[in-house]
Every structure is written in C-alpha cells, then in structure tokens.
Amino acid sequence: MTLETMPLSKAMNAGLRQAMENDPKVLLMGEDIGKLGGVFRVTEHLQRDYGEKRVLDTPLAESGIVGTAIGLAMTGFRPVIEIQFDGFVFPAFDQITTQLAKLTNRHEGRISLPIVIRIPYGGHIGAVEHHQESPEAYFAHTPGLRVVSPSTPNDAYWMIQEAIASNDPVIFMEPKSRYWQKGEVELDASAAPLHASRVVRTGTDVTLVGHGAMVTTLLQAAALAEAEGTSCEVVDVRSLSPVDYAPILDSVRKTGHMVYAQEAQGFVSIGSEIAATVMERAFYALEAPVLRVSGYDTPFPPAKLEGLYLPDADRILEAVDRSLAY
C-alpha cells in the first residue's frame, strides 16, 4: 500500500489530476482556477499540465458556467465546476435545480449529465458575508442530485474521482476549514463506495453523527468524553443524498443514544432529516431522543462571532450529557 501524507486541498488536487489522466473528457471550469489555481489552490498547476482547453478560466457568471457545463455534458464531456465560495452558488441555483437536476428525468433517461459541482462550504476561516455558508440541505432536498462531503484527505482523493465517474450530477461539498488539515492518503487502495457512511471511532455509550468539517470536531469531543468515562462512537455520514443509514442505525441500536452535529442551521436541515429517520427506524432501541447540535437559525455572523455560532466540542459534550441524563 502506498501512503502519502497531504492536506485535504492537495488530496483534492491529486484526485482531480488522476481523473483527468484517466479520462480525456474530464474538463475543469471555474473562476480563477487556471493560472491562479483557485482561491484555495485546489487546481494548482492543472492548467499548466493539461492546457487551457481542459482547465478553463471562466467569466464571473455562475449561472452561465453551469449552463455551459450542461451543454458540454450533453455532448459527451464530464465537466467539473468549481464554485469559488459557497454563497456564490445561488446565482446558479435555477440552472442547478430546474435544469441540471431534472433533465435526465425530463428525457426519460435518454441523456445523462455527468457533472460535478465543487462547493467549498462552512465556516472557521474568518471570512465575510457570502463566503461562509452551509447550503447543503438545498441540494439534498432536490431530487436528481447526489450530494456528498468528504471529511478527510483520503476521502477527498477517492470521492472526487468517484463523483466524476458518476453519470449523475454530483454536488461535492468541500469543508473549506479542513483544506489545510493533513492526513494519510492511500493512493493505490480500492475506494469505499461514494454513498457509504462509515464508523470512524468505535464506542458503546453514545453515537455521534455528522458530516464534513464537523467530523473532526466530533472526534475531538469523543476524545474528551473518553477522559471523563463516556465512550462515544463517531459516524461520518459522507453522503448527504442518498444517505447510507445502516452504519448509523447499527450504532444507535448498540448505544441507545445519538447526537447529530452540523455547522448548518438546525431548521429543515440534514441533521433534522437524519434525526427523524433514526427515530422512525430505531425507536425501540433509543433510550433518549435524538439530539441535534447546529449553527443557529440566523445568517452567518461576522468573523469575530463565528466561534459562538459554530458548534464546538463543548456544545457537543453538553448534548452528550443531556442524552445520558434521560
């Protein structure tokens, strides 16, 4: 097995490079992704190595970028779009939800749209308005879109390749606060299924569930809980649509307690859906209600307040204590 330690951003770059190497129909499109290599340098040197016809610097027009990608996909290409920041995706929302998500169904399956839309999302980088948001629930709510989010460099490397290989449109949510977090990447291993949840820490007392950047925070909370005598199992959802419930339900049936944590607002969210489904499918195994820890139901605050807005290990541990107190 070949292991290489790299940050998540470099793992994304390596995964994109491998996908382009494997298939000449893979094209990258986005604002400043070519010569600059993207704001977060995820596409660094790819235009140099593959040329301007495969790594395209586009105008600042997200709706036009997605519309162009749809046309390219209908003629056999596999476009990968970078949305520079999460809040910039909304000018393209109409194209994504009324065209990209529905065209295959509208044509009764006669066409496929193998498009990946990469969206850096979430907080913890001290940015301004429209640069720190968590819009994943909008896309998970839309039939016809697959939605995934890696939490580790290894998942980033493999999941981006699997997403590009998919014949369905994939919204690829990248936790921007973890771009610089390093981890081992198994360069020659077989990939886990794109839409599989995974237990990343075993435990017996409480199940902690989350996605994206929050998985690291859950692991931090689990380590602190262990020091106090509470054993937490951590499940990384990885795929937000469809959701692989089996590992989550198996864990809940073992522990009897569950806490879901996310950066996004709590109302009508990924955590809401998963909590409701666990309550339906594992009701008799639960010894307490499923609890949720989330961002607050307000617009994302200025940088100096984001530490109060975003869930941290302490807020998760408070929920663990409340769950065990039932």
Residue 131 annotated as catalytic: yes
User: Is the CB of residue 36 less than 8 Å from the CB of residue 48?
Assistant: no
Q: Are residues 170 and 278 in the same domain?
A: no
Domain that holds residue 79: 3-186
Clarify whether residues 181 and 202 are in a common domain.
Answer: no
Per-residue pLDDT tens digits for 258-283 = 999 999 999 999 999 999 999 999 99
**DSSP secondary-structure letter at 178?**
G
pLDDT of residue 190: 73
Q: Does some domain include residue 83?
A: yes
* Residue among 296, 314, 316, 315 at smallest CA distance from 306: 296
The confidence score (pLDDT) of residue 122 equals 95
Given the residues 131, 195, 211, 257, the one annotated as active site: 131
Average pLDDT over residues 108-131: 92
Say if residue 253's pLDDT is above 80: yes
pLDDT over 90 at 158, yes or no: yes
The predicted structure's pLDDT at residue 126: 85
Q: What pTM value is reported for the model? A: 0.96
> What is the C-alpha to C-alpha distance for residues 61 and 59, in angstroms, rounded to an integer?
5
CATH number at residue 241: 3.40.50.920
Question: What's residue 97's pLDDT?
Answer: 97
Task: Tell me the average pLDDT across 125-151.
Answer: 94
What total number of domains does the chain contain?
Answer: 2
pLDDT 10s digits, 50-103? 999 999 999 999 999 999 999 999 999 999 999 999 999 999 999 999 999 999
The answer to whether residues 204 and 309 belong to one domain is yes
Domain boundary, last residue among 186, 213, 240: 186
- pLDDT band of 186, cuts 50, 70, 90: very high
Domain ends where: 144, 161, 186? 186
Asked if 126 and 260 sit in the same domain, the reply is no
Tell me the H-state helices in 146-213: 153-165
pLDDT in the model for residue 125 = 85
Once rounded to an integer, what is the mean pLDDT over residues 249-260? Answer: 98
What percent of the chain has pLDDT above 70? 100
CATH classification at residue 126:
3.40.50.970
Q: Quickly state the pLDDT bin for 229 (edges 50, 70, 90).
A: very high
Q: Are residues 127 and 56 in the same domain?
A: yes
**Residue 189 banded pLDDT, cuts 50, 70, 90:** confident
**Token pair recorded at residue 233:** 């199992």
Q: How far apart, in whole angstroms, are the C-alpha atoms of residue 92 and residue 83?
A: 10
CA geometry: angle 166, 180, 5, nearest 5 deg: 75
How open is the CA angle 146-150-151, to the nearest 5 degrees? 150
